[in-house]
Amino acid sequence: MKLFISADIEGIAGVATIQQLKTNGEYQRFRKLMTSEVNAAIRGAFTGGADEVVVADGHGNMSNIIIEELDKRARLVSGNNRVMAQLEGLDDSFDGIIFIGHHGREGDSDAVISHTLAGICVNEMKINGRIVGETEMNGMVAGAYGVPSLFISGDDIYVDEVKETLPNVESVVTKFARNRIAAELIHPEVVQQEIQEKVEGVVRRIADFKPFIVDGPVTFEVDFKGPQQAQMTSTIPSVEMLTPTRITFTCEDIVTAYKQMWACVIIAIACTNGVTGSVNA
């Protein structure tokens, strides 16, 4: 049995503020906690019957997990510039996907450090009219490879959001959100023990889980925080502007649409940072 773990950091036990994750703040401390929480999932996976586990580091520059502290039985996908981002390395050879330390979506969510992919530019994202966050999107893409979503961990609001789309996933609440930068925390060791036990349980009954299938064609809508971000994404021929900040495009399948969405977000980030939109200035 081969399992994929997609790991983020905002949803792990102990994280409550953006400042904690900045390199001039407490980042090194929370890298260690992220690694420990991923290790709990790895232990549960192998105890439950997995033969192989691949972990994709999915936060920021995607090089946060400390490899020398990672469970030796797992392999790690690290580093950025990935076409499939938090899913890099996933294919139809996997039997299930597990999400550790993920967070709520951008918009009206009070989840801790809520955002969708790029907080500096994305306001809201929809797939076929449904508002989604990162986990829901990733679960849909995994489904296209025949890979079911098994487990999620993060704050209570995040868990509720994801279960609107993926109602059958098992979950562990790592903290209770009080607002976007405050939480009622649970001790990391308590959370890690619960993750290990619940991951072991879902792996033992993996036959009960089915992939979330999204039939094509697939339409994305992305609402950006500024009109310049939306305007520059319309340089992709299939992208249409619905409003000064909202774009849409349709692709034949979810994997192709996911890749095009990332292209739009990368353009929007570059535009936000002043990279695009000027020639011979």
Q: Averaged over 48-70, what is the pLDDT?
A: 97
Provide the pLDDT for residue 107.
78
For 2-117+133-208, CATH number?
3.40.50.10780
Name all contacts of 223-229 with Cβ < 8 Å and 24+ positions apart. 223/122, 223/123, 223/124, 223/125, 224/121, 224/122, 224/123, 224/268, 225/120, 225/121, 225/122, 225/123, 226/121, 226/272, 228/271, 228/277, 229/121, 229/267, 229/268, 229/271, 229/272
Orientation of helix 156-165 relative to helix 134-144, angle to 10°: 40
Provide the pLDDT for residue 280.
34
Cα–Cα–Cα angle for 139, 142, 222, rounded to 5 degrees: 55
Provide the pLDDT for residue 99.
98
- Residue-wise pLDDT for 92-129, tens only, equals 999 999 999 999 999 777 899 999 999 999 999 999 99
- Residue-wise pLDDT for 144-167, tens only, equals 999 999 999 999 999 999 999 999
State the span(s) of the chain assigned CATH 3.40.50.10780. Answer: 2-117+133-208
Average pLDDT of the chain, as a whole number:
95
Residue 107 CA neighbour count, 13 Å, CB half: 17
Closest CA to 180 of 10, 64, 13, 33: 10
Cα distances (angstroms) measured from residue 13 to each of 43, 60, 118: 17, 18, 22
Q: Are 195 and 186 in contact (CB under 8 A)?
A: no
Give the fold, CATH level 3, of 218-272. Gyrase A; domain 2 (3.30.1360)
Provide the pLDDT for residue 212.
97
User: Given a cut of 90, is residue 275 above it in pLDDT?
Assistant: no
Distance (Å, rounded) from C-alpha 140 to C-alpha 227? 28
State the span(s) of the chain assigned CATH 3.30.1360.130. Answer: 218-272
User: Given a cut of 80, is residue 186 above it in pLDDT?
Assistant: yes
Write down the pTM of the prediction.
Answer: 0.94
Provide the pLDDT for residue 274.
65
Distance (Å, rounded) from C-alpha 33 to C-alpha 44? 17
Distance (Å, rounded) from C-alpha 258 to C-alpha 264? 10
Q: Are 186 and 180 in contact (CB under 8 A)?
A: no
- Residue-wise pLDDT for 227-238, tens only, equals 999 999 999 999
Q: Averaged over 233-260, what is the pLDDT?
A: 97
